[in-house]
Amino acid sequence: MALLITDECINCDVCEMECPNGAISQGEEIYVIDPGRCTECVGHFDAPQCVAVCPVDCIIGDPERLESRDALHKKYLRLIALDE
């Protein structure tokens, strides 16, 4: 599933730089995650890096975007093909 940043975000900026897919950006009030680019770091790391560095634990799985690990890996493969 894609990840989601809750309104508990304190805009600390650390998650944006950790995302290998460029899925995190500054929104109007808090940081947001583009679900089309979020692979939960599948293909890059064993665990989501944004979750690992978030000091307030405000990054959760998006219940509206359930994806299997296989689906996340296929998304990763599409993204690296687009970036080449």
What pLDDT sits at residue 84?
Answer: 63
The pTM of the full predicted model, rounded to 2 decimals, is: 0.91
What pLDDT sits at residue 82?
Answer: 80
Token pair for 22: 């460029």
Q: Where are the domains of the chain?
A: 3-83
Of 44, 43, 29, 32, the closest CA to residue 3 belongs to 32
SS3 50: helix
Q: One digit per residue, pLDDT tens: the chain, 84 residues?
A: 799 999 999 999 999 999 999 999 999 999 999 999 999 999 999 999 999 999 999 999 999 999 999 999 999 999 999 866
* Distance separating alpha carbons of residues 79 and 21, to the nearest angstrom: 8
Under CATH, what is the fold of the domain 3-83? Alpha-Beta Plaits (3.30.70)
CA distances from 23 to 52, 58 (A): 16, 16
Question: Using an 8 Å Cβ cutoff, are 59 and 48 in contact?
Answer: yes
Residue type, 53: V
